[in-house]
Amino acid sequence: MAESEIKYLKSLANQYPTIAKASTEIINLQAILNLPKGTEHFITDIHGEYEQFQHVIRNGSGSVKRKIEEEFGSTLSAKDKKALATLIYYPEEKLQLVKNEEENITDWYNITIHRLIQITKKAATKYSRSKVRKALPQKFAYVIEELITERGDMPDKEAYYNEIINSAIEIGRADQLIEAFCKVIQRLVIDHLHVLGDVYDRGPLPHKVMDMLMRYHSLDLQWGNHDILWMGAAAGQTECMCTLLRISAKYGNLDILEDGYGINLVPLVRFALKTYRDDPCECFKISFRESEYNILDADLDRKMHKALAVIQFKLEGQLIKRRPEFNMEHRNLLHKIDFKKGTVTVEGKKYPMLDMNFPTIDPKDPYKLTPGEEKVVDRLRTAFIESEKLQRHIRFMFSKGSLYKVFNSNLLFHGCIPLDKDGSFKKVKVYGKEYSGKKLLDVLEKYARMGYYSIKPKEKRDGLDIMYYLWTNADSPLFGKEKMTTFERYFIEDKNTHKEPKNPYYSWIDNRETAEMIFEEFGLDYETSHIVNGHIPIESKKGENPIKCDGKVLMIDGGFSKAYQPKTGIAGYTLIYNSYGMLLAAHEPFESMKTAIRNESDIVSDTVLVQHVVQRKRVADTDVGRELEEQIHDLKKLLKAYRDGKIPEKI
């Protein structure tokens, strides 16, 4: 045995100092390998839709309902099953309604707690007792463990079992016990959550989504193009910052910055009011929801919207000139405006401009910020960098997130793997070196991390600019389109100029050879793997199918964002991957949490079986299983070293 191996085993012996302890751990780990695989939950393109997001998380995309159905079947009425499901989703709120309406609350408590015990037992069967114990809330850990591990029908324990429940009711702790059970059930039905990008933008409460994600027991994040905007802004990237501010203004969500993250927008307000005082800013309409927006703010928001758009176009122009290697010169359009004729030249063709009131643009130097604009940008940048809550959320994005993830033989990413027109991996230059496929994503992620964390000025500058590149460049795996036509959508009526052709990935990915090429690039087997990604909304109402390439590719953005729902016809797809296979859920629009609680209504979901395994998957078939097998291998070596006398036991 090599000296380095002996050194490692001695370190392992500190954790397992005796033959007995090492042997017990081997037995424990080998037993865990034979448990059913935990359930994975996939969700993408949340776009700040907090209420719908939390509902889908609480119900596990139908996983809670399935547990209720499996446990009770026809022994409970449909009405009772709906009531039980709603209680599990929203225990605190539902309890208040029940106590106001129920005549015999003691009987209701007794019946409900017994039902929750049964569901908890059902949900816990996939896990070791140790893992279940770790999932229990500390205040009720002992009580819940006793109730779900003891058999109430055994004569010797029946009185003991029932007295636990009766005592909880008698001393006024039934509500808290029920809430604890409901949260344990939510925790156990889903073992791991995958968020495939775009937590931010469009919807009103992305900060609440982030708060909820930070409390979640086990998850990973794949960055989306809208996430990278916020990540760049938090790092001080001004082009990203002004773009996210413009998007927030467009959707009437600037209060996210002020109320959610404590960012002072007063300098922007003053600048916009002064600069565009008499400008109706008609090209900068607000996409608002009547129930969530004060129409009295519309005039001011349009002015800020325009101010931010102009500043964004100027800053982008400066960056594009500074980074000719990004090949984006054709997207600089301010210098192509004919201020006398009121036209702009785009790709060799002249178009009339819908708005020509640009008091801050100097035709001789159109990309230069005015002193007033510079002051606004500087103060906003400082506010973003100093926002403690924003920095906390973005650090979480970096710590739990990445551009892609390989998990249990599935490849997860937000947008695309950039391809050429012939279906091959596109070769892309990043700061003078050529990359493609997996290596391209790896190097772009490395630079993004440097943009946030590096203390070396050049590394940080390069990284910050890559964050902007990831947002909008034609070769970005997050953007996945030929160009972003923001300027044209504001100022040119001809909708042909608004088109944003997709990367060839989206036309090739239904091809088996393309999927095989991508799987091989990421070290995966076509027969046992899947690609799961979001970003491009699937237009279900036009008959578009999210399942591509004979079920090997799953595009699960179906309109979680309310802004997309008129186009897609649904309210998003989510995916469940349990020990029996994969289930794709297509969700109908969610009205509100209040309606869900009061009417015991759920998101109506159509579920499609994507894959059914012949043999139920076990922990041994997962990434965690492979890690456990390595631990078992090392422990067996330690056991042998103990028995051979090479390492003494620490008794």
pLDDT at 606: 63
29 and 86 within one domain = no
> Would you say residue 650 lies in a domain?
no
> Would you say residue 379 lies in a domain?
yes
Beta bridge partners of 4: none
353 and 248 within one domain = yes
172: phi > 0 → left, psi -120 to 50 → alpha, else beta; which?
left
568 and 420 within one domain = no
575 and 547 within one domain = yes
> Would you say residue 122 lies in a domain?
yes
> Would you say residue 76 lies in a domain?
yes
pLDDT at 290: 65
Token digits for 627?
């890690």
pLDDT at 504: 97
447, 472, 497 — which closes off a domain?
Answer: 472
468 and 375 within one domain = yes
46 and 16 within one domain = no
pLDDT at 607: 67
By the 8 A CB rule, do 448 and 470 touch? yes
pLDDT at 594: 82
> Would you say residue 381 lies in a domain?
yes
151 and 99 within one domain = yes
Alpha carbons 239 and 383: distance in angstroms, whole number: 15
Q: What is the mean pLDDT of the chain?
A: 92
Alpha carbons 446 and 459: distance in angstroms, whole number: 10
450, 472, 494 — which closes off a domain?
Answer: 472
Element (H, E) at 169: helix 155-170
pLDDT at 544: 79
Low-confidence ranges of the chain (pLDDT < 50): none
414 and 315 within one domain = yes
Range of the domain at 637: 3-34+630-644
185 and 109 within one domain = yes
pLDDT in tens, 553-601: 999 886 677 776 776 666 778 899 999 999 888 877 777 788 778 777 7
pLDDT at 604: 57
Read off the pTM: 0.93
311 and 428 within one domain = yes
269 and 400 within one domain = yes
By the 8 A CB rule, do 179 and 92 touch? yes
161 and 243 within one domain = no
Number of domains in the chain: 3
Alpha carbons 257 and 265: distance in angstroms, whole number: 8
